[in-house]
Amino acid sequence: MGGLSHYLESAGIATTGISLIREHTEAIKPPRALWVPFEFGRPFGPPHAAEFQRDVLRALLGTFAHESGPTIDDYPHDAPAGGTDEGWACAIDLPAPEPVTDLEAALVATQRELALLRPWYEQSRRTRGRTAIGVSGLPPEQVDEMAAVLARYAYGEDPAAPAAARHALPELIRYLADDLRAFYAEATAAQPGGGYPNPVEFARWFLTGTRIGDVLFRVRDRLVATDDRRLRGLAFVLIPRAFGELRAG
């Protein structure tokens, strides 16, 4: 954000910004900033916490009261805990992600997993009136095809991009992964029990507790094994750095 604040402020627009890493903001010295002690990806705190989000926004806007800068204010509250008190677990009884060694078994396992989650994805979509699926160009109705393309690529094939895809393979891979991640996250948001996972719980479950997680690790392994620098770069946008060494099974 440092570059944007510099250019906008220089052009006569007063700016303030959220700081996610205090040391970076101290080094960049934007005019005004509010440091928040939240997870990456949640600059205004947890979802569905309107009062908390308003408080963060008020604190951010409050930095406009400073008469000179650079300034960094510290937001004084941690984010309310996400997930459940006992630790979140997927309420849907997914088959244990035991090692699968061939494509046909992987296709069957991923389609079965998607079928088990689909009613809860649909419920979540109806309840919230939205879905974040769409960056691949494929609609939510084609999550089976999204998973199949990734599975085929994971097991050594070079599948064609589906007709509705907005990108060619292999660039399409990361968008398919994003859309499938949205499908799984949204399916967890409507499950019985009322809780939803915090970021670590979700990432751990998605990557190590599901068949699609195993497919993503296999896609990454294929990409990093190539001599193509572009493909190796693509591998690093599939698995979060903090979870790179985890595997299912």
Partner 1 sequence: MARLSDFAPDYAVHLRELPLPSFGTTPWTPAPALTRARVAVISTAGLHRRGDPEFAGGLGDYRILPSDIADADILMSHVSVNFDRSGFFNDVNVVFPLERLHELAAAGEIGSVARWHYSFMGATPPERLEEAAIEVARLLREDGVDAAVLVPV
Smallest gap, in angstroms, from Cβ of residue 98 to partner 1? 25
Sign, Cα dihedral of 60, 65, 69, 72: negative
CB atoms within 10 A of CB 129: 6
Say how far apart CA 161 and CA 140 lie, in whole Å. 16
Please, which of residues 38-57 interact with partner 1 by CB under 8 A? 38-48, 50, 53-54, 56-57
Residues binding partner 1: number (CB under 8 A): 85
Q: Which stretch binds partner 1 (CB under 8 A): 89-97, 109-117, 153-161, 239-247?
A: 239-247
- Note whether 200 and 193 are within 8 A (CB): no
Nearer to partner 1, 40 or 228 (CB): 40
- Note whether 99 and 218 are within 8 A (CB): no
87 binds partner 1 (CB under 8 A): no
One residue of 94, 105, 111, 128 binding partner 1 per CB under 8 A: 128
- Is 39 buried (19+), middle (13-18) or exposed (0-12) by CB count in 10 A? middle
One residue of 90, 176, 239, 248 binding partner 1 per CB under 8 A: 239
Please, which of residues 12-31 interact with partner 1 by CB under 8 A? 12-18, 20-24, 27-31
Q: Is 206 left (phi over 0), alpha (psi -120 to 50) or beta?
A: alpha
Angle subtended by helix axes 103-128 and 143-154, to nearest 10? 150
Tell me, residue by residue from 174 to 213, as one string, x for binding to partner 1 by CB under 8 A and - for no binding: xx-xx--xx--xx-xx------xx-x--xx----------
Smallest gap, in angstroms, from Cβ of residue 176 to partner 1? 12
The phi and psi torsions of 110 (rounded to 5 degrees) equal -70, -40
- Note whether 36 and 52 are within 8 A (CB): no
Nearer to partner 1, 13 or 163 (CB): 13
Smallest gap, in angstroms, from Cβ of residue 102 to partner 1? 27
Smallest gap, in angstroms, from Cβ of residue 192 to partner 1? 17
One residue of 72, 89, 94, 135 binding partner 1 per CB under 8 A: 135
